[in-house]
Structure 1
Amino acid sequence: MTVIARALATAGLLFAASTPVYAQTPHPAATQFLPIKDEPAPQLFVDQPLPGPLASRAVVIIPYRTENFRILPIFGASASDVSPRAGHLHVSIDDLPWRWADAGGTGAVVLTGLPPGEHKVLIEIATPEHEVLGGKAVKFTVPAIDSAHH
């Protein structure tokens, strides 16, 4: 290799080694192994019940998804420090005074046995200490199904 070629190769290596590689270095917030500072607000998206099961079998399947929030079976004060943020769902029906917690993270709430007629289901995201961070309600009608066909 000539002296000029060697000098150019060395200069190229030095330049490449000293240039920051922003595009290839992941931001620390992109990993679940490090705490996320200033996490974005959690969001809950709830769809209307799937029409097919509702019409044919009176089975209510309500799809949901979250952003910046994971549904996990963790509870209590120490679980509130988990990052990225995690918690569970609170689900209530027809404004009744009771509700249940869903920590399965299946992406859908499934209800059976509701009587025919109008109903409202409220799905809320909650911290491990049951602090509600937001929620969405869906309204739908359960049709009368002829039990002779089932």
Structure 2
Amino acid sequence: MITIAKVIATAALLLAAGRPIHAETTTQFLPIKNEPAPKLVVDQPLAGPLASRAVAIIPYRTENFRILPIFGASASDVSPRAGHLHVSIDEQPWRWADAGGTGAIVLTALPSGEHRVLIEMATPEHEVLGGKVVKFTVPAINSAHH
């Protein structure tokens, strides 16, 4: 039996994904037995923007996991899995959640020097499923050219 919470969560997912709400499309959100594990792939920041403007554009992609702006217990029962990213910089005690699914984390105004960015996949209830660390150096930018 489908609960109201599951129906609402499914409708929210469909709207967030830009899909029309039809009965035949909701089947893609039913639990799948033996669903493959989610995977996060993170690349190094793009060299051009990092060197010329001190902007770290860190490309990422997920497998068996979709980045959507959904939160709460009822959203954890959908399939394929959905959630958001937790991002932290230089082991600071604060972090933020990225639920936009843009395929890139963009960091600006980082001081020159070494940096460490932790990107983690998290369920709608903030349970971390895995993560990757990206280490890079922001070069000193000659301010006379900007």
TM-score by length of 1: 0.78
**Residue in 2 aligned with 1:63?**
59
Superimposed CA distance per residue, residues 82-138 of structure 1 (whole angstroms, 9 cap, x where no aligned partner): 111000000000000110000000000000000000000000000000000000001
Of residues 116, 133, 140, the one that matches 1:120 is 116
Of residues 93, 107, 117, the one that matches 2:103 is 107
Question: What is the CA-CA distance between 1:34 and the residue it aligns to?
Answer: 4.0
Give me the whole-angstrom Cα distance separating, in 2, the residues matched to 1:127 and 1:116. 33
1:21-40 to 2 correspondences below 5 Å: 32-40=28-36
1:122-141 to 2 correspondences below 5 Å: 122-141=118-137
Give me the whole-angstrom Cα distance separating, in 2, the residues matched to 1:106 and 1:72. 10
Q: Structure 2: which 5+ runs fail to align?
A: 1-26
Matched pairs, number: 120
**Residue in 2 aligned with 1:145?**
141
Give the fraction of aligned pairs with identical amino acids, expressed as a percent: 88
Question: Quick one: which amino acid aligns to residue 48 of structure 2?
Answer: G
Superposition RMSD in Å: 1.0
**Residue in 2 aligned with 1:84?**
80
TM-score by length of 2: 0.80
Give me the whole-angstrom Cα distance separating, in 2, the residues matched to 1:127 and 1:79. 9
Question: What is the CA-CA distance between 1:33 and the residue it aligns to?
Answer: 5.0
Q: After TM superposition, what 4+ stretches of structure 1 lie above 4 angstroms from structure 2? A: none
